[in-house]
Structure 1
Amino acid sequence: MTNVLVCVKRVPDPTGEVVLTPDGLRVDGRYAGYTTSAHEEAAVALAVQVAEPSGGTVTVLSVGSEDSLEQVRAGIAVGATDGVLVEADADLLGPADVAEAVAEAVRARSDAGTTYDLVLLGNDAADTGDFQVGVRLAYLLDRPVVAGVQTVTVDGDVATLHAKGPEGTEVYEVTLPAVVTVLEGGVSPKYPSVMGRMRAKKAEVERMTWSGTPGGSGREALTVPEAPPSQVTVLGEGPTAAPALVAVLRELKVVHS
């Protein structure tokens, strides 16, 4: 039986226009709306894929405000067993703070009788892109960690992980328990059914409070790069533009000479 914990974060929808808060320290999601990072959606799908055949459980955890319950319940709607909300002001937390909050929750659940063979996180969050929480969490829990993983299989107490590396696919075998950060692309995210949404709405979500003191991110400011300039070339008007159009299509190898 493989029990999996998946950590998710409430982030501004990355498909919308990027707008910063007045202090320039965060991405403002009030206009684009909020969602779960694509890497974390893949992590939830992987967790369900790993846990279900063995009769294990999948717990979705988020560190944040009451609003983060939306992301916890979204994970339950696509197959997670239960959820945990670690109540904190996410705007005050840096990656070290989040890792400590998650580690504290893992230990608290262990003391209550629930242990996790795998802890999955997104490779990075869509709003901050820190790439740090997974490694810091593994250090706090004294577990091995592999980053950039796209597929996971478990046989007994050994997990085989396929990760995306600079030279291609890398394969790792690690003894459980372990921490894994997930990169989207290896598994398709699951979409909730009507029954899944109803189950998630009624599901119990355990609430915890982190006992630590936020150290913050140390971030000074974010900037949004200017959009690249666009350029338009008019090939001509009417039939007289045909030769120029053909020349462009040949240059692009759409048509052959």
Structure 2
Amino acid sequence: MASVLVCVKRVPDSSSEIVLTDDGQAVDGRFAGFTMSQHEQCAVELAVQAASATGGEATVLTLGDADALEQVRAALAVGCTAATHVVADSQQLGPADVAREIAAVVRDHEAAGRPHDLVLLGHDAADTGDFQVGIRLAYELGRPVVNGVTRVVVEEVDGQTVVTASGDGPDGHETYRVPLPAVVTVLEGGIEPRYPTVPGRMKAKKVPVEERELSGAPAGPARVRWSLPPAAPSDVHVLGKGPEAAPAVVDLLEQLGVLAR
């Protein structure tokens, strides 16, 4: 039986144009909408599968304001059965703050008789690009950590419960096997996240969400400001007009390798 804690974050939808806030401290999602990253969607799916396969429980955790409950409910709608919300302004938290707060939740739940054998996170934050939280959390908890995998399975090996995590590395496919409890960060692409059903969404609305305050004062992200790179210039070359442009079109197609003489 594996108890899995999966961590999600409310982030701006990056599928549209990126706009920064006026102070350059964050991505402005007012016009793009909000979601959870694809890494975290896959992490939620893996958490639900691991808990279901072992008869355990998948708990979703988020740090954010009241609007972040939308992402919590989304995870509950696809199979998580418990939820914790650390109420905070996520823009005021740096990676060390986030790792500390997740660790505090893990320790408090363990003290209350709800230990989490496996903690899953997205490989990086979709809005800030931080790749640090998984590593920092593992150090906080004194647990082994595997980064950037696409598949996670909890299984018994030689009488010991382990997590087998695999993904593509620089030299080919890699597989790691570490004992529980452990921390794993997930990359998108190894599994197809399920979509919530109408009954799932209705059920998610009834699940009580544990609310917590920050365990300590945040140190902050130590960020100066972000800036967007200049838009790539576009270059248009007019080949001609009407039938007179035909030879130039043929020459261009030959240059592109579409036509051969």
Q: TM-score range by the shorter chain?
A: over 0.9
Mind listing any 5+ residue stretches in structure 2 that lack a counterpart?
none
Amino acid at match of 2:167: A
Render the CA deviation track for 1:125-175: whole Å, top value 9, x for unaligned: 111011001000000111001111101122121111112322232211111
For the Cα contact (< 8 Å) 1:42–1:187, is it kept in 2?
yes
Alpha-carbon distance between aligned partners in 2 of 1:204 and 1:147, rounded to the nearest angstrom: 31
Alpha-carbon distance between aligned partners in 2 of 1:248 and 1:111, rounded to the nearest angstrom: 70
| Residue 193 of structure 1 pairs with residue 197 of structure 2 | yes
For the Cα contact (< 8 Å) 1:11–1:36, is it kept in 2?
yes
Q: Paired residues, what number?
A: 257
Alpha-carbon distance between aligned partners in 2 of 1:128 and 1:103, rounded to the nearest angstrom: 20
| Residue 116 of structure 1 pairs with residue 116 of structure 2 | yes
| Residue 166 of structure 1 pairs with residue 170 of structure 2 | yes
Root-mean-square deviation (CA), in Å? 1.3
What residue is the counterpart of 1:209 in the other structure? 213
1:69 partner SS:
helix
Alpha-carbon distance between aligned partners in 2 of 1:68 and 1:92, rounded to the nearest angstrom: 15
Taking every aligned residue pair, what percent have the same amino acid on both sides? Answer: 58
TM-score, scaled to structure 1: 0.95
| Residue 82 of structure 1 pairs with residue 82 of structure 2 | yes
What residue is the counterpart of 2:180 in the other structure? 176
What residue is the counterpart of 1:42 in the other structure? 42
For the Cα contact (< 8 Å) 1:120–1:181, is it kept in 2?
yes
What residue is the counterpart of 1:66 in the other structure? 66
Amino acid at match of 1:148: G
Alpha-carbon distance between aligned partners in 2 of 1:54 and 1:32, rounded to the nearest angstrom: 38
* 244, 247, 256: which one aligns with 1:243: 247
What residue is the counterpart of 2:236 in the other structure? 232
Amino acid at match of 2:61: L
2:22 partner SS:
coil
Mind listing any 5+ residue stretches in structure 1 that lack a counterpart?
none
Alpha-carbon distance between aligned partners in 1 of 2:60 and 2:258, rounded to the nearest angstrom: 48
TM-score, scaled to structure 2: 0.94
Shift of 1:246: 3.1
Amino acid at match of 1:111: A
Alpha-carbon distance between aligned partners in 2 of 1:180 and 1:243, rounded to the nearest angstrom: 58
Shift of 1:21: 1.5
Amino acid at match of 1:32: A
Shift of 1:249: 2.9
Which deviates more, 132-141 or 203-212? 203-212
Alpha-carbon distance between aligned partners in 1 of 2:257 and 2:45, rounded to the nearest angstrom: 40
Shift of 1:256: 4.1
Amino acid at match of 2:74: A
